[in-house]
Amino acid sequence: MTHHVKAEREIPVASADLWQTVRQMTGMEDWYPGLIRESEVLEEDGTEPRRNCVMQDGGVLKERILLRDDLTRTFVYAIDSHPLPAKNVMGTIRIDDVGNGRSHVTWSANMALDPKSADQIAAMVAGMYEAGLASLERYHLD
C-alpha cells in the first residue's frame, strides 16, 4: 500500500539561498549531520544522476536524482536501496518563496509500506523530514 509522508516548515531564509544548498549532489552531511555522515556522487551526468548517502548508523541510501528544477526549486529523488522497510520510495523537496526573505519548504515522499508497520514507519520518516527541515534552517541561520 502506498503512503504519502510530508513535513513542512516556513524558514526565514531566501528561497534562492536554501535552493543552492538543497540542489547539490553532495553536502547533505553539512546541512543534515544528524542523519547523514557522508555523501558521494556516483554519476553526475546523464538523465538520472546517482549518489550514495551514508547515514550516521552506517546504513546506505542509494539514490537516483530524477529532477533538479531551478525554476520551481524542486528536487526529486528515488531511493533504490536503503535500510528502511519500505519500497518504491520517491521523495521531493520543494522550496517556495513566500516573500520578505522567507521560504516555505516541503519535504515529502511516496512509498510502499507493509500494512502491519505502515503507521510506525510513516511517522518515523515524517519525523526524519521534520528534523531535516529544522537542521536546514539551523544550517542557514548559524
State the CATH number of the domain containing residue 6: 3.30.530.20
Count of structural domains, the chain = 1
Host domain of residue 70: 2-141
The upper half-sphere exposure of residue 32, i.e. CA atoms within 13 Å in the direction of its Cβ, equals 21
- The residue written with cell numbers 539514490 in the block is 63
Are 89 and 36 in contact by the 8 Å Cβ rule? The answer is no
Q: In Å, how far from its chain's centre is CA 141? A: 19
Share above pLDDT 70 across residues of the chain, in percent, rounded to a whole number: 100
Q: What is the pTM of this model?
A: 0.95
Q: What is the pLDDT of residues 40-58, one digit of tens each?
A: 999 887 788 999 999 999 9
CA distance 135 to 125: 15
3-class secondary-structure state, position 97 = strand
pLDDT in tens, 56-87: 999 999 999 999 999 999 999 999 999 888 99
